[in-house]
Amino acid sequence: MTERARKRVRKIKCSGNILAKEVTSVKKKDGSPVYPINGNFRNSRERILEGAAIAFARKGFHGTSLREISRECGLEQPSIYHHFHSKENLFRKALVATHLMILNGIRSQIIKEKGLREEVVSVFQAIIDIVREFPERTRLPFSLVYSAPENLVLEYTNHYGAQYRKLLEAAVTRNPPSKRPDLKLSLLVDLLHSLILSIASERFFEDRVKGIEERIDFILLNN
């Protein structure tokens, strides 16, 4: 970052619209934004979380340095330490923030009024839409979480790992199939997990997306 850009960054101390306008105007030498998205941050903490989520999603926990996170969010390393105290804690907070962003996005798109088939399809389609919109960030909770220290992996798995399954459980509970509901739920969860695991590779992910509705129909109608 140039000295001129640094001076502008130091001026960004407020939140709301003023911060958003400043953030979107700062550029790197190649013309790309210093900041990871459109600059709609309320404070420095949010900027750091956004930059950390993208940096960790690229290289995982061990492959990412605080220097890279600093470049991504446009703030100096002392500011990162001030807010999060350690790389491990920053990973934890970025992981949870990304998880909640994805989960809330999915929940906002679920169709609950048109029966089991439409609700299940809407869960899968919401995941597909979010992965396509945020391909880097979604890799963090769906695949690169396993690059973290074991205690963080266990913490995330125990507290948040089952929440995607619960979306399907809720759909089956609302509209229980007349035959073998437990088996149908188990097969739907397996299909969901296979889709999530494929997110690590764009090509594999798009292959899994093909025919997803047909596979859902097969599970619901033939088991």
Residue 46 sits in a domain whose CATH number is 1.10.10.60
Domain total of the chain: 2
Parent domain of 207: 96-222
- Residue 24 amino acid letter: T
pLDDT tens per residue across all 223 residues of the chain: 444 444 433 433 332 332 233 333 333 444 433 333 445 556 788 888 888 988 888 888 888 899 989 888 888 888 888 888 899 999 999 888 888 888 999 999 999 999 999 999 999 999 999 999 888 888 888 777 777 888 888 888 888 888 999 999 999 999 999 899 999 999 999 999 999 888 878 888 999 999 999 999 999 998 6
The residue written with tokens 């997306």 in the block is: 209
Q: In the prediction, which pLDDT does 7 show?
A: 42
* Alpha-carbon distance values, 67 to 37, 64, 70, 197 (Å): 19, 8, 5, 29
Helix (H) or strand (E) run with residue 67 in it: helix 66-73
Radius of gyration of the chain (CA): 20
Same domain, residue pair 48 and 103: no
120 and 42, same domain (yes or no)? no
- Same domain, residue pair 212 and 138: yes
* Domain C-terminal end among 69, 88, 107: 88
Which of 35, 60, 88 is the last residue before a domain boundary?
88
Residue 202 has what pLDDT?
A: 84
Helix (H) or strand (E) holding 22: helix 16-25
How many other CB atoms sit within 10 Å of the CB of residue 209?
Answer: 17
Residues 172 and 212 in one domain: yes
Is residue 82 located within the same domain as residue 125?
no
* Cβ atoms < 10 Å from Cβ of 120: 27
* End-of-domain residue from the set 29, 54, 88: 88
Indicate whether 77 and 109 sit together in one domain.
Answer: no
> Of 80, 17, 18, 21, which Cα lies nearest the Cα of 47?
80
